[in-house]
Chain A
Amino acid sequence: MTDRQTGNANRAGPPVLEVRDLRTAFLTDAGPVRAVDGVSLSVRAGETLGIVGESGSGKSVTALSLLRLLEEPARIIGGEIRFQGRDLLAMPAEELRALRGDSMAMVFQDPMTGLNPVIRILRQLTEHMISHGRQTPQAARRHAIGLLGRMGITAPERAVTSFPHQFSGGMRQRVMLAMGFANDPALLIADEPTTALDVTIQAQILDLLRGLNEDFGTAILLISHDLGVIANVCRRVAVMYAGEVVEEAPTEAVLADPRHPYAWALLNAVPRIDRPLGADRRLTSIEGTPPDPLDLPAGCRFAPRCPFRIARCETQHPPLAEVAPGRLARCWVTQAGQVLPKAGGAGFAAPREARAKQEVRQPLLSVRALTKHFPLPRDSLFSPQRVVHAVNGIDLDVARGETLGIVGESGCGKSTLARLITRIHRPTSGSIVFDGQEIAQASAAAIRPLRRRMQMVFQDPYASLNPRMRVGDILAEPLVAHGLARRGAEARECAAELLSTVGLNPAWTSRFPHEFSGGQRQRVSIARALALQPDLVVADEPISALDVNIQAQILNLMLDLQQRLGLTYLFIAHDLAVVRHLCDRVVVLYLGKVMESAPSADLFARPLHPYTSVLISAVPVPDAAMPQAGRRVILRGEPPNTLVLPTGCPFRSRCPIARPICETPPPLAEHAPGRWAACHFPGAFDPKDMPARLGQPGPAC
């Protein structure tokens, strides 16, 4: 991508946006919370700047401050924002309104609520152009259709007459982007624009953002918690922590050699899909949580968690100073010239050879031809019954002591599968054998004794704990219900013990869930699953709602617990890097069917199914040096809906190598020992054969 880099460099002109010492505070009862505390940034014309940080670091508040979109009790209490030379903070509301959506546009995280559901797409797009006085209605219509086409929406003439609910999340985000670009802005602020999307759709949107920056020269300020996403789009990155920028530098430089320990921790906390696996699967995670914004430490705000801190860090607040040409960092250690160690390089030892040999044993869980169809309510008495085909014939085995990963995009049936195996739902057909017992159609009462041995960890740590129960009661409840502990002191003692098992303070049994952070709640959720000493733990996206550093902590905890207690995991995730890191074997699902099933190392080294290849290549990698063009395949389109199942191979409609024979469904066959794939041409697809960019829909679609 030398093209992209030179293109950017040429455009470097005067700054479009210049922020100096911005301070935004939430004036709460307990005192002012300084969410943004002295942030200085500048974005030149055509430049791409990323802001990265964990939740609560102040990155979104910064974005909202730039457009002055904050509401009480938040207030900008200091600093200066200059946009194209004009002072935004002194600007009257009228002028500011004219500016927003015109030369300065914003795209938000949630594409589901960003569009007005009762207005057609066309009007939402053109209203905007006409009201800013740029175009006549006819011209605006043509422009809107052209823009939607540019955003990769097929048949834009038809699409503009649709309502937002007829579009999927990815399509809506494209419409939001089209709205952002409608008036040819000088700056686009995108706040986590892909966080709510699947990995293949995320790759499409990031590719689009990159292309728009190249084609229109629009400066982009991209906010994300994911360094991989930033690395894909941005030339420069600012790392935020506790309301401050702690490092600012060209993206490659930060990725190769971070100069602030927090950036270092962010970079090393995520498992990398592009790096060989070490023998030790523990991730580098930093302890602790961000400081209380009401009571910030006097010295460096990261000092309490920093593994490299020196005496000076505790007492003196470091300034953001140049540590190398073009590189700023807020750290005493690196300013003194010290280099942070390379982490994660735990060696290139062959991964987990020993573990893979366990498969000869009797499987703990065995699923055959499992299906689940959800009937939808009828539109009228006489309309045909519509059915969501969530799971359509899944076979899998889980051996004792192994970790089986299940991956796929949203809607592929992975969460339904988890709920079928744990019998929250009753399968439509098929069999589930758990340790020799058939449970697929067993009654609730018949399963209850087996429940002890099969537990589940849920995705959302905020929804999976009853908010009205104390943590001690939450943990004691299953013990009492199964008669493993008597109500009262004995149960309380067990609960405290469970808390310490998952690394929490055993004295916290009398707290309510809302007194814990997201990561701590997920620990409680894991403790609850462990209360009954299960053999199998089904984990449904247990870390996807957490910040990267907390993700690393939870993954490490899960690995520890597996070793100590001999657990078997069924690990459901959409994050392939995490799955590769944690799992012994992986099953890839698409439209409720198994596409491929193989030992993890083989699957990632040499995928057999084209869908697996595409999924792997779509993962954003935090490495700007990686030549993206040779590696990424950007998949067109989205999964078909599950109301009417496609005939033949389910992946046929999106497959880059589909042929006429794919109209007959390929069986799931063993192509090499332990490697199963449902494809007529296993291993025939090589991502390197593909053209680099498919951002614009070709005539073939």
Chain B
Amino acid sequence: MSGAGIAIPAAPSRSRRMWRRYGLAGIGAGIVLAWLLVALLAPWISPYNPDFVDVANRLQPPSAAHWLGTDALGRDCLSRLLWGARISLLAGFTVVLLGALFGTLVGMVAAYARGWVDEVLMRLTDLVLCFPPIILALAIAAALGIGTTNTVIAMLVVWWPKFARLARALALVQRGQEYVEAAVVLGLKPSRILGRHIVPNAIGPLVVLVTLDVGNAIITFAGLSFLGLGVVPPTPEWGAMVAEGRELVEQWWVATFPGLAILSIVLGFNFLGDGVRDWLDPKARSR
């Protein structure tokens, strides 16, 4: 923050502190970045076609030809795992970003308008929040029919309320700030006060929630797929892969590797989210 020239003598202790504070976040970012690369490069780096059925070679244990073995239809588990990253990440990001966008809009408008607008929007939020999210998503997904898009829509319906809640609380805090009062006294229009003064100052915790939540969305999506609602069968998806390997006790590799993939990506996003939170929180930063 201060001039780089002055910082030189204290550099070693600084790097140690940076490591202590952001080390895990760095690992998290590394994991997430690695998975993003995998998702992007899946067509080129996967050794087989993920949907290629080879019944003769079914349930092969990990070997040089199939690093992670093959599943009940003889498909290469590694290729399916790599392709699965695409769907998981895409679904996770779509749900969280769209949910955050919609929820923030609802929450900020409610907080700024107050009165009956606030009442209607927040009671709607409460209505969604009073169902257990997975069950509600299950019901909606089941009603819409199986398919990636439908599952994402179902998840969106249960996903936005928490952002609305948080955004409303943040905007209410900002509303009470003296610089927002100053903006009112200066005669600025509500849209400008909201856009220029409230939103930029309230966005920090929302960014943290988004980062932390992508992992959460990925695991929920995998969960829905595991229950058979997520993707249409041949599509390679981690949750569905775990489901396929569920009863194959002897063939441990079928369920284990997709499980580990989910674990690593969720951990990655959590580490990253914690780091973003520390970075945005000036109190944590000064420690």
Contacts and interface: CB of A to CB of B under 8 A. Distances in A.
Interface of A: 27-31, 294, 419, 422, 424, 444, 447-449, 451-452, 454-456, 458-460, 463-469, 477-478, 481-482, 525, 528, 531-532
B201 interface: yes
Contact of B182 (A444, A449, A454, A456): A456
B113 to A, nearest CB: 12
Interface in B180-211: 181-190, 192, 196-197, 200-201
A528 B186 contact: yes
Contacts of B3: 30
A31 B9 contact: yes
B2 interface: yes
A30 B187 contact: no
Nearest to B186: A478
Nearest to A464: B178
- Nearest 10 pairs between A and B by C-beta? A451-B187, A464-B178, A478-B186, A458-B178, A463-B178, A448-B187, A466-B179, A456-B185, A468-B200, A30-B6
Contacts of A449: 187
Interface in B80-135: none
Contacts of B200: 466, 468
A30 B7 contact: yes
B246 interface: no
Given A31-B10, A469-B196, 17 more contacts: A29-B10, A29-B14, A31-B9, A294-B6, A419-B181, A447-B187, A449-B187, A451-B186, A451-B187, A460-B178, A465-B179, A466-B179, A477-B183, A477-B188, A528-B182, A528-B186, A531-B186
B14 A466 contact: no
Contacts of A444: 190
B49 interface: no
Nearest to B177: A463
B4 to A, nearest CB: 10
Interface string B1-24: 011001101100010000000000
A59 B20 CA distance: 32
A473 B77 CA distance: 57
A458 B2 contact: no
A466 B184 CA distance: 13
B207 to A, nearest CB: 14
Contacts of A456: 181-182, 185
B185 A455 contact: yes
A422 B182 CA distance: 10
A454 B182 CA distance: 12
Contact of A466 (B10, B189, B197): B197
A531 B183 CA distance: 13
Contacts of B181: 419, 424, 456, 458, 464
Contacts of A478: 186-188
A452 B185 CA distance: 9
Contacts of A467: 201
A444 B178 CA distance: 18
A527 to B, nearest CB: 12
Contacts of B192: 481
Interface of B: 2-3, 6-7, 9-10, 14, 177-179, 181-190, 192, 196-197, 200-201
A465 B3 CA distance: 25
A30 B14 CA distance: 10
A444 B189 CA distance: 9
Contacts of B189: 481
Contacts of B7: 29-30
Contacts of A28: 10
Contact of A30 (B10, B183, B197): B10
A544 to B, nearest CB: 13
A464 B178 CA distance: 4
B129 to A, nearest CB: 19
A459 B6 contact: no
Contacts of A27: 10
Interface-centre pick from B178, B185, B197 (highest chain A CB count, 10 A)? B185
Contact of B186 (A29, A463, A532): A532
22 contacts: A29-B2, A30-B7, A30-B10, A31-B6, A447-B187, A455-B185, A455-B186, A458-B182, A460-B178, A463-B177, A463-B178, A464-B178, A464-B182, A466-B196, A466-B197, A477-B183, A477-B188, A477-B196, A481-B192, A482-B187, A528-B186, A531-B186
Nearest to A294: B6
A468 B200 CA distance: 7
A532 B188 CA distance: 12
A532 to B, nearest CB: 7
Nearest to B6: A30
A451 B193 CA distance: 15
A531 B187 CA distance: 12
Contacts of A451: 185-187
A699 to B, nearest CB: 44
B184 A424 contact: yes
A454 B10 CA distance: 51
A30 B190 CA distance: 42
Contacts of A468: 200-201
Contacts of B14: 29
Instruction: Name which of A422, A444, A463 has the most chain B CB atoms within 10 A of its CB.
Output: A463
Contacts of B184: 424
Which of B2, B182, B188, B190 has the largest count of A CB atoms less than 10 A from its CB?
A: B182
Contacts of A454: 185
Contacts of B177: 463
Contacts of A458: 178, 181-182
Given A459-B178, A464-B179, A466-B179, A481 B10 contact: no
A447 B189 CA distance: 12
Contact of A452 (B179, B183, B187, B196): B187
A213 to B, nearest CB: 37
Contacts of A455: 185-186
A599 B7 CA distance: 57
Nearest to A32: B10
Nearest to B10: A29
A596 to B, nearest CB: 28
A424 B183 CA distance: 10
Contacts of A29: 2, 7, 10, 14
B186 to A, nearest CB: 4
A481 B187 contact: yes
Contacts of B196: 466, 469, 477
Contacts of A525: 182
Given A460-B178, A464-B179, A464-B182, A30 B2 contact: yes
Nearest to A458: B178
B2 A481 contact: no
A696 B214 CA distance: 61
Nearest to A31: B6
Contacts of A422: 185
Contacts of A448: 187
A448 B183 CA distance: 11
A478 B197 CA distance: 13
A414 to B, nearest CB: 15
A294 B186 CA distance: 39
A567 to B, nearest CB: 15
B155 to A, nearest CB: 32
Nearest to A452: B187
Nearest to A474: B179
Contacts of A465: 179, 182
A449 to B, nearest CB: 8
B197 A481 contact: no
Nearest to A28: B10
Contacts of B182: 456, 458, 464-465, 525, 528
A117 to B, nearest CB: 20
Nearest to B5: A30
B179 A477 contact: no
Contacts of B187: 447-449, 451-452, 478, 481-482, 532
Contact of B185 (A31, A424, A482): A424
Contacts of A477: 183, 186, 188, 196
A175 to B, nearest CB: 27
